Chains A and B, each alone.
Chain A
Amino acid sequence: KNEVEQSPQNLTAQEGEFITINCSYSVGISALHWLQQHPGGGIVSLFMLSSGKKKHGRLIATINIQEKHSSLHITASHPRDSAVYICAAEPPMDSNYQLIWGAGTKLIIKP
């Protein structure tokens, strides 16, 4: 079992729909990252959070530390939101620190 699991693996929705992507992790973390990768390959960091909720425009990220679960929501989705969304768990700072990556969720928003 992977230490960071994302669901769904693929998601297709119509423009305007509310989107939820889930990320569950089994390790202790100091923070959780959400990133977006467009078809060209470039990756953009969306959020880094260790508790509660963060909002940026139409994107909202939440995390529940007790349940080891995070969600990324997109409101009023648009075709330009089509991308792969990746979550990554950041372990507590130690001598072997490295992010633990989810496999990504491929999102397609149809006009």
Chain B
Amino acid sequence: KAGVTQTPRYLIKTRGQQVTLSCSPISGHRSVSWYQQTPGQGLQFLFEYFSETQRNKGNFPGRFSGRQFSNSRSEMNVSTLELGDSALYLCASSLEGGVRSPLHFGNGTRLTVT
């Protein structure tokens, strides 16, 4: 069974640009959640999608958005990039999300904003 796939693996963008990251969950998983990880910080929750609906959202500005397609694949978009957006962005899928449903992480997309 294929794991969670994130593309691209690395990305370099300039301030002010926008970026779209992609996450393909494990087959059959309906929940996809996104996290930002910066050096020295724990994972910061961005949002969770379940069956194409955003179920939860973290404390990030509106420049960060996402969506989920009918095949459970998810994308997140960051508009008007800032230097502080440089981070490792991880997505995780799970069967149902929520209680007692292990998370399966992708390898992440490392975004550098210059």
Please, which residues of chain A bring their CB within 8 A of the CB of B67? none
Contact A48 B90 (CB under 8 A): no
Question: Number of residue pairs across A and B with beta carbons under 8 Å?
Answer: 58
Taking the closest CB of chain A, its distance from the CB of B9, in whole angstroms, is 9
Q: How many residues of B contact A (CB 8 A)?
A: 26
Contact with A98, one of B45, B104, B105, B107 (Cβ below 8 angstroms):
B45
Please, which residues of chain B bring their CB within 8 A of the CB of A98? 33, 45, 48, 56, 58
- The answer for the CA separation of A90 and B108 in the assembled complex, in Å, is 22
Counting chain A residues whose Cβ lies within 8 A of the other chain, the interface size class is 20 to 34
- The answer for the CA separation of A48 and B92 in the assembled complex, in Å, is 15
Please, which residues of chain A bring their CB within 8 A of the CB of B28? none
Contact with B100, one of A31, A42, A88, A104 (Cβ below 8 angstroms):
A31
A: which residues have CB within 8 A of B? 30-31, 33, 35, 40-45, 48, 50, 86, 88, 90, 92-93, 96-99, 101-104
